[in-house]
Structure formats: structure tokens, C-alpha cells
Amino acid sequence: MSVLLKKEFLESWRSFKFLWIPLVFIFLGVTEPLTNYYMEDILSAVGNMPEGFQMLFPELTAADILASTTGQYQLIGLIVLISAFIGSVSRERQNGTATLLYVRPISATAVFMSKWLVASLVSVFSAMLGYAASMYYTAILFGGVAVGDFVKMLLTYCVWLLLVMAVTVAMSAAFQTGIAAALAIVLLPLGLLIDSAIGSFWTWTPWKLANYGVSFVAGIVDMKDFWIALLIASVVIVAFIGIGIFATKRNWRLTKV
């Protein structure tokens, strides 16, 4: 397990995933507070508005900016993470690289867990840097939030990312890269859109974890719903890890030599 973890870590390091993915999250995190704060100036400079035209903007709070940042992560950030790790198992099978592993006496559990853990590490590291950058400019331009509430929001989002990576790597283990990517996008970003459209009828889905995290800084979280959603998310993570391990072992025969 330690050797496989080192292999996956070095692969992510040499492919610059520890660099470009955090940079994407930092860019998204910084863009939201700066864009919202200077929106009036931006429109005045490039909007070609008629003379005397005035536009009223709502008074935004730090919680509003963090919610907007989370929305960017839930759309663009998830697509970036899925694209980066959807081929972690299937691509090795297709190009024959996995043969070097599968001919050795190693377990499917060690193979899958090493890939999931490193993918989760990159995702959580990126989200932490992104939120830290967003919080820095948010605190300067819109005011701060309680440190405890910010940490709760961040930890809640990290649990969501563990689920995202479990689904992504499990789909990669079960299917070819193209099919796996389609299924992961359906289950995650599109699942979020569906939940936002009709999800008012249920409050315990894992797709609401990010919203509950933002609710901590807004001071409106329902702790009962949060704990149930967190429990269900934990069960789903374990379930997809099990699916991924089973699929990794079952599809060893599909590896090209």
C-alpha cells in the first residue's frame, strides 16, 4: 500500500496536478470577491452604459461571497476534478500500464485505495487553498466570518470532495474512460443541478453537503438535516469504495498486454 501511494503521489506530482488544480481553485476563489466588489466599476468601464444610467446592486455579505465561490467550485471545480482523475484506473488498463501492477501479488483494495486517497488529497488541498484565497479577499472587501464557522464549512466541503473522488475513481475502475466520465458527470454536476431544481422535497441528500457548509457561515444551518446528510454521505462513500474495489478486481482481465 505504501509503495502504491508513493507511486500515485509521484504521478500526480510529475503531471503537475498538485500545481494546476490548486491554481484553478485559487483563481475561482479570488475571482468571486473581486468581481462582485468591482462590478459597478467594470460595468462603467466596459458596459457602454448611457449617461446618467444607474444600476442598484444588492448589499452583499461575506456569506454571500462564500456561497458564490462554492457555486463556482460545484460547477467548474467538479468538472476539473473529474477530468483530472476519471482515467486513473481505466486509462492504465487501456494503455497496458496496469499490466506492470497486476502481474504482481497485490490486492485490488490497495490499488483502488491508493488512487482514491491521492485523488482526495489533491482535491482537498486545492479546495483549502481556494477557500483560503477567497476568504482573504472576502474579509478585506466584505468583512470576515467566524473562524469556527469557516472551518466547519471547509471540513463539510472536504467530505463532499471525498464522495466526489470515490464516485469518480469507482466509475474509472468499472468502465472505460469515456463511459466513466459521462456517468460521473451525470451523478455529480448534473445531479447537483437536478437537486437544486427539485431538491426542496428532500433535505438529506449528499448533494446538499456544500449548501449546508455555506449555511454554517450564514448562521442558518439545520443541524438535524446536516447530520443525517453527513451520515448518508459517509455511507455512500463507503459504498462507492466497495464498488470500486470490486470493479478493479473484476476488470483486471480487460488489461491490455
C-alpha cell belonging to residue 47 = 458596459
Contact 164, 242 (CB under 8 A): no
CA torsion angle 202 203 209 213 (round to 10): 140
Rounded to two decimals, what is the model's pTM? 0.89
In 16-146, alpha helices (H): 17-37, 39-46, 62-72, 78-85, 90-95, 99-102, 108-141
Q: What is the pLDDT of residue 120?
A: 96
Give residue limits of the domains in the chain.
2-254
Contact 212, 221 (CB under 8 A): yes
Residue 47: what pLDDT?
A: 61
Among 106, 107, 108, 111, residue whose Cα is nearest residue 88 = 111
pLDDT at 48: 63
The rounded average pLDDT for each run of 10 residues, N- to C-terminus, in the chain (257 residues) is 90 92 95 86 67 68 91 92 88 70 78 94 96 94 90 94 94 84 83 76 83 88 88 94 90 62
Q: Are 119 and 169 in contact (CB under 8 A)?
A: yes
